[in-house]
Amino acid sequence: MCVVVFVIAVVSGGPLENPYRLKQFHFHWGANNDWGSEHTVDSKVFPAELHLVHWNCSRYRTFEEAIMEENGLAVIGIFIKLGRHHEKLQKLVDILPSVRYKESLTEFNYFDPSCLLPTCSDYWTYSGSLTTPPLTESVTWIMMKKPIEVDHSQLAVFRSLLYTAVGEEEKNMVDNFRPLQPLMNRTVHSSFEPALKMSNFKKADVQAG
């Protein structure tokens, strides 16, 4: 996972009763464009997914405490699809080669993560768990309806990152996502009215009275 850690940035409103402070954001992606996202929409899979991880700074003293508690975290999830070059993301892409190897670190300043949000503010939300250890049921998920676009060259840089350290046999960091999990009894809410769907619709005869 490529992780960027932040000092201050806060989200509130929507399904969140308290302000949540941004701790870090990271990406999940597949070895190819057929998979990579940890969520799907109507069975549609995306090649990558961005997670902005926030913690409930009003109720808990530390991020580590919030991870283990109810309503401790809020994660904004953003689908990523192939398309146009993402100019704002390029600043991050440009520094990825400097952290290509395991445990590499670099400074990354003056970046506003809100530039990665889609233009449409519609979302789905549900109560769930982290997709990485410790997998605690402490997350309010907010999945943005509209994906953002990146081009092939940008996604290729993510796929060039390595699980291995300098001097070790290289193993590309790909397929770093959790397999799709059953919804169980969770209820998914939307911030918008779902579109009307008609299946097996046939032309009907209409007769004036």
Structure tokens at 152: 């092939």
Mind listing the pLDDT tens digit for each residue in 90-130? 999 999 999 999 999 998 888 899 999 999 999 999 999 99
Average pLDDT over residues 50-78: 96
Q: What is the pTM (predicted TM-score) of this model?
A: 0.88
| Average pLDDT, integer, range 128-140 | 94
- Joined tokens for residue 13: 């409103």
Q: What mean pLDDT is predicted for residues 59-65?
A: 96
Please give the pLDDT value at position 2: 55
What pLDDT, in 10s, does the model give residues 1-52? 556 555 568 899 999 999 999 999 999 999 999 999 999 999 999 999 999 9
152: helix, strand or coil:
helix
| CA pair distance 75, 140, nearest whole angstrom | 6
CA 29 to CA 80: how far, in whole Å?
9
Domain coordinates in residue numbering, the chain: 2-190
- Measure CA 106 to chain center: 22
Instruction: Give dist(CA 44, CA 190) in Å, integer.
Output: 17
Confidence tier at 203 by pLDDT (50, 70, 90) = very low
Helix, coil or strand: residue 13: strand
Q: What are the beta bridge partners of residue 73?
A: 55, 139
pLDDT confidence of 201, banded at 50, 70, 90? very low
- Segment 74-98, tens digit of pLDDT: 999 999 999 999 999 999 999 999 9
Where helices occur in 9-60 by DSSP H, the ranges are none
Q: How far apart are CA 23 and CA 136, in angstroms?
A: 17
CATH of domain 2-190: 3.10.200.10
Mean pLDDT of 159-176: 97
Distance between CA atoms of 43 and 78, rounded to whole angstroms? 16
Q: Compute the average pLDDT of residues 141-157.
A: 98
Which 8-state DSSP code applies to residue 178? P
